């Protein structure tokens, strides 16, 4: 069965984590195109197609860090899920936070998954492989437009 690749938006402010994510995605040969924004306001502007993001494709999935400047990941998640255009968009929280209140709040606000960033590259690579299998072979994402 051939799956249609979808675009992934990564909202992450840590350059080391961005490199780690990109390298892991390349290592597992993910066919999905990846765009990166570095703060919560950029994430929302990207989704709305504002400014420099006006020609960017709408993503099929968002990977959202909790601890970001300008707007936290939880604030971004709340805005995504309060907008009827974006509500069906799958949002995965990808963060270092192990705080139970962050996990609970993420799910209460509509996150479809909460993944803690592993510390080592080899562990992160295995998480990305499982992630890729789930999102490309098991799960289906809606085709949304702005």
pLDDT at 1: 42
Contact at 8 Å (CB) between 90 and 134?
A: no
Grade residue 2 by pLDDT with cuts at 50, 70 and 90. very low
Domains of the chain: 8-137 (3.40.50.2300)
- Give the CA count within 13 Å in the CB-facing half-sphere of 35: 22
Contact at 8 Å (CB) between 93 and 111?
A: yes
pTM for the whole structure: 0.84
When computed from its CA atoms, the radius of gyration of the chain, rounded to whole angstroms, is 14
Q: How many residues does the chain have?
A: 146
Look at residue 68 and give its three-state secondary structure. Answer: coil
Q: Bigger pLDDT: 48 or 135?
A: 48
Q: Which helix (H) or strand (E) holds 74?
A: helix 73-82
Query: Among 33, 100, 35, which Cα is nearest to 66's?
Result: 100
- Give the CA count within 13 Å in the CB-facing half-sphere of 11: 31
Distance CA 57, CA 49 (A): 8
In the predicted structure, residue 3 carries a pLDDT above the cut 60? no
């Amino acid at each position: 069965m051939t799956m249609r690749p979808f675009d992934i938006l990564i909202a992450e402010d840590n350059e080391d984590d961005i490199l780690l994510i990109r390298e892991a995605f390349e290592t597992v040969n993910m066919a999905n195109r990846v765009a990166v924004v570095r703060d919560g306001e950029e994430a929302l502007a990207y989704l709305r197609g504002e400014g420099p993001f006006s020609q960017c494709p709408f993503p099929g999935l968002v990977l959202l860090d909790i601890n970001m400047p300008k707007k936290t990941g939880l604030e971004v998640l709340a805005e995504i899920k309060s907008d009827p255009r974006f509500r069906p968009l799958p949002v995965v929280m990808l963060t270092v936070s192990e705080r139970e209140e962050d996990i609970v709040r993420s799910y209460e606000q509509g996150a479809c998954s909460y993944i803690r960033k592993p510390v080592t590259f080899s562990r992160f690579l295995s998480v990305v492989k499982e992630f890729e299998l789930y999102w490309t072979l098991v799960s289906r994402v809606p085709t949304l437009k702005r």
